[in-house]
Structure 1
């Protein structure tokens, strides 16, 4: 059936509870597939670290309701157990008007029972009022029970149990207050897994706690991966899953080759501590469309891998590693020359910042970057956050002029110069009014702060690969 792990608000410990559940299942040598509601990159890194399987994002704004259902069904076919970590509070979604893209929305789409995590650190009897309110707010939801987190003492637990007893809502987990169990964070969320040398010991401790803090006799059957009955608001799901789409299977799409390229297009993927924000589904689609992915490090490698026809620079924390990036001038020169030569390049957020002339970090220190864009990326205290409807103003390696797509913006930097040839007109989630022009298009470069999930739009990576193959032919 699987479970949706939800919080009554942000910061109640959803990720810690989720990691504890995953760690116990893996400690028992059970296969488990995890999912994350929303566009987040960092929580899925922790899931993958524990399970050994790529965590999948479930975001109906960036993809579609049908894609969310297909993705979940596809990736739970071959595992023993599955769970979905929610986002923010249970009913918090893309706007404050409804619960679109919230944990509640995903739970209804997938017909999943909800396990509600309550932070009990500053309440006792009121926990029952919170639980009752959440359980009755949307009668379409099923609730498996609650997890009481940050319980202070035996007496505190007695009060909580007494208050919850009339609700007949099972208490499926009790976690005491452990101030020493924390995952450090920074300006865009948790510190990624690659930067935490003590993560193994933390996960082991969460597994040991989870063995004794959860009611496994009740939980294990709920986490069992199996087909769910169609939910009331289920959308019609096509028999052709976008996960398994190949170029061969959709020759009718304009501009797509009708056979896989021989040899395959080789795409250089920047992947290291500075660049790690990628959706696993994007990688899957590139490979299924005939690409060979070559991972390299702008931090440590002397340049791009040999024989590549395309470049993908994802998001991450280039501002944190700006000194190391600046010191690797050979890699910068290799990237600059490739883009100037017309290599199709997709750079989003952190990748965009890397292509600027310089990054000015939070301390005000300036670091030289690739310089293909005549702009400076300045770190600020202002968070730019939200879903964006992006309308392409010009042809790029990913999108034709006039096309629309949904993306997500999440950064604390701003560019000091505007592009002479911006990529997008941006509009908000619930507004048709123009927000601003954004992005850079030059040579065969598509650079933007907007993060894209290609799951429901395989024509985007297909167009990118077509451009890469054309570039490769010109080089031969």
Structure 2
């Protein structure tokens, strides 16, 4: 069925896309509209915040990681029960392969450009026309972010010529704070609702132009459920502020494979549930909780016992760091960890890995990404490596110690459910 769908993009990262999308979602939610939001590319932090803003689950869309068919199904499902569907782009409009522009063109979705107007005025028009014509894309309009006031917004509007100014947002003082991996998680902002309400109130919109946005019709083909190869298995999933980088689609995929999920908190010094058949340690911020995790002796002993019992463990990025001998944080403080992987995870100022990657397994190729500001110093030889996309060069190492598989690679399980099932004991994976 047709729906109003728009992809919100910009010329680069840091222009305020997430702020604008959050303001739009909260504004329309407050007006009684049903809003669904998606985030382009691989991202854990933006969806957490956008879920609070919109009041509905937020999933990721990526033509390569998810695949076009999965993206089409997700958009069609959202459009079937929402008044407005917003897709936040990643980086700049044409950055990456595939890019946000590729996603918009694949589904004939109009693009709205966010322009950071804090240090420009009439040049906004040149920037908007370049974003429209380079691809080209169907540019529905511009939202001017960080304007000084109505007069500044009027100058931007005049520069756009035949491109409408859909709205503007005044400069905000640290509206959505950030740290080294992106936005501060929504769960760590007790005043997040107040921040979102302020953004929604400060957002100036031209309602008549918004109503004129074209409707988009997206039809999805029927899907086939994965074989329930994890039926009867219980998977313990670490979920707390230190292990919060979880794709909701990953958990849904494990359930579709037949698994029962049992969340627990290493930060609360909870042991791995005794009845679990497999363990999932996702990424997050263990480096920010070194003292707490180092003192969590019950959790550390339980994961060592779990491994000694020969049960499968899949540890991604921060989950892998917590299983090393120690984490050395940004202040050079060393915190002892569980010690299943020999070596130390060392925090650093520069990126240690970034970009889409694929993990080839006997059951198929798991797609996902890497994004981290640490390195694992270990004498352990990798069992294999991911392949960076699109170059195909070796990416993140995957380490094996008995039934433990660990990597900086974040997998998107629906890209290959049989391979995901293998990580949790359906069959030997590597």
Query: Which residue does the alignment assign to 1:431?
Result: 391
Which string of whole-angstrom CA distances, capped at 9 and with x for unpartnered residues, describes residues 437-462 of structure 1? 71211222111001111222111233
**1:202 shift after superposition:** 0.4
Alignment CA distance shift 1:406-1:468 (3 Å): closer
Query: Which residue does the alignment assign to 1:251?
Result: none
Task: Provide the secondary structure at the position in 1 that maps to 2:410.
Answer: coil
Query: Which residue does the alignment assign to 1:253?
Result: none
Q: Which runs of 5+ in 1 are unaligned?
A: 94-99, 230-236, 249-255, 393-398, 470-476
Contact in 2 for aligned 1:3/1:223 (Cα 8 Å): no
TM-score by length of 1: 0.84
Matches of 2:44 and 2:28, distance apart in 1: 22
**1:120 shift after superposition:** 0.9
Matched, 1:350 2:341: no
C-alpha RMSD of the superposition: 2.3
* Aligned counterpart in structure 1 of residue 107 of structure 2, from 107, 110, 128: 110
Query: Which residue does the alignment assign to 1:96?
Result: none
**1:194 shift after superposition:** 1.4
TM-score by length of 2: 0.92
**1:372 shift after superposition:** 0.7
Matches of 2:261 and 2:395, distance apart in 1: 34
How many residues matched?
425
**1:101 shift after superposition:** 2.3
Q: Which moved more, 1:325-334 or 1:69-78?
A: 69-78
Alignment CA distance shift 1:283-1:185 (3 Å): same
Contact in 2 for aligned 1:265/1:468 (Cα 8 Å): no
Alignment of 1:364-379 (within 5 A): 364-379=332-347
Which string of whole-angstrom CA distances, capped at 9 and with x for unpartnered residues, describes residues 415-454 of structure 1? 111423x232344324344x46712112221110011112
* Aligned counterpart in structure 2 of residue 410 of structure 1, from 371, 389, 410: 371
Which string of whole-angstrom CA distances, capped at 9 and with x for unpartnered residues, describes residues 180-210 of structure 1? 2421111111111111122121012122223
Contact in 1 for aligned 2:354/2:372 (Cα 8 Å): no
* Aligned counterpart in structure 2 of residue 14 of structure 1, from 7, 17, 23: 17
Alignment CA distance shift 1:126-1:426 (3 Å): same
Query: Which residue does the alignment assign to 2:202?
Result: 209
Alignment CA distance shift 1:109-1:185 (3 Å): same
Alignment of 1:323-338 (within 5 A): 323-338=291-306
Matches of 1:222 and 1:286, distance apart in 2: 38
Q: Which runs of 5+ in 2 are unaligned?
A: none
